[in-house]
């Protein structure tokens, strides 16, 4: 039984390290959200989970919150309903809007992002 203790402790440390690495994937900061092939809107994802757009981005008016997920970013309405789940790869998050199936792409803006 005592030989299992080091294995359990090592496993716990490994899981903690993996969780910490994945938590750093999605960060608060300035991004550009592309809707379909044409429209691109600047979006700010705040550390408190809120999301804000420029006033002229009517196409994404329903998004008010965001949440970091495992290698993904979830965009939500003010009521907490999921608008889209964007999966990350190499700093870009892509997915489709559930309401109409339009493609969404979230890219980091040139501004520095801070950790969420």
Is the pTM here over 0.85, yes or no? no
For the chain, where are the alpha helices, taking DSSP H only? 4-23
C-alpha dist (Å) from residue 19 to 6, 14, 23, 45:
20, 9, 6, 21
| Dihedral class, residue 45 (left if φ above 0, else alpha if ψ from -120 to 50, else beta) | beta
Task: Render pLDDT for 64-106 as a digit per residue (tens, 0 to 9).
Answer: 999 999 889 999 999 999 999 999 988 899 999 998 899 999 9
Task: Render pLDDT for 31-46 as a digit per residue (tens, 0 to 9).
Answer: 999 988 777 889 999 9
Task: Render pLDDT for 2-32 as a digit per residue (tens, 0 to 9).
Answer: 576 665 555 555 444 444 444 446 789 999 9
Q: Which domains does the chain have, with CATH numbers?
A: 26-110 (2.40.128.10)
């Amino acid at each position: 039984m005592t030989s299992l203790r080091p294995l359990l402790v090592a496993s716990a440390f490994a899981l903690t390290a993996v969780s910490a690495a994945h938590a750093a994937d999605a960060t608060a900061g300035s991004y550009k959200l592309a809707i379909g092939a044409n429209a691109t809107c600047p979006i700010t994802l705040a550390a408190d989970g809120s999301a804000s757009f420029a006033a002229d981005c009517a196409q994404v008016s329903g998004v008010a919150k965001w949440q970091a997920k495992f290698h993904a970013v979830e965009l939500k309405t003010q009521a907490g309903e999921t608008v889209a789940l964007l999966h990350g790869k190499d700093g870009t998050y892509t997915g489709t809007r559930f309401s109409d199936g339009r493609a969404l792409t979230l890219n980091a803006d040139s501004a520095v992002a801070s950790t969420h």
